[in-house]
Amino acid sequence: ETGVTQTPRHLVMGMTNKKSLKCEQHLGHNAMYWYKQSAKKPLELMFVYNFKEQTENNSVPSRFSPECPNSSHLFLHLHTLQPEDSALYLCASSQEFFEGSGYTFGSGTRLTVV
């Protein structure tokens, strides 16, 4: 257990479904991130939140909608996804502008869109 918890671990959804991924950290970090990891591609940064405010949206399609109600929780709401959205979605947290410890990642949600 890293201190960053992601649920669910696995998710299978149809293209017309709506689902949400959840990320929770109690490390006292003030920055949280969503990354997408597809086979044979580098990790893609999707969204960055600092102190609950979104500071980065890396040209992510609107079918992905992030939400950060407080500095400990981060959600990724999914709707009308495509099969190519199937991937491992990783959440991470860090202490902004404190370089000492890097990012702490959760174990990820393996998403399959059918």
Partner 1 sequence: SQQGEEDPQALSIQEGENATMNCSYKTSINNLQWYRQNSGRGLVHLILIRSNEREKHSGRLRVTLDTSKKSSSLLITASRAADTASYFCATAPYNTDKLIFGTGTRLQVFP
Question: Which residues contact partner 1 by CB under 8 A?
Answer: 2, 4, 6, 31, 33, 35, 41-43, 45, 48, 50, 56, 88, 90, 92, 94, 96-97, 99-108, 110
**Smallest distance from the beta carbon of 114 to partner 1, in angstroms?**
19
Q: Which is nearer to partner 1, 30 or 80 (CB)?
A: 30
**Residues in contact with 59: Cβ distance below 8 Å, sequence separation at least 6, in sequence order:** none
**Smallest distance from the beta carbon of 90 to partner 1, in angstroms?**
6
Q: Which is nearer to partner 1, 18 or 26 (CB)?
A: 26
Q: Which is nearer to partner 1, 42 or 69 (CB)?
A: 42
CA distances from 31 to 12, 75, 86, 94 (A): 28, 13, 25, 5
Q: Which is nearer to partner 1, 83 or 97 (CB)?
A: 97
CA distances from 63 to 1, 60, 77, 95, 111 (A): 30, 8, 8, 28, 14
Q: Contact at 8 Å (CB) between 10 and 88?
A: no
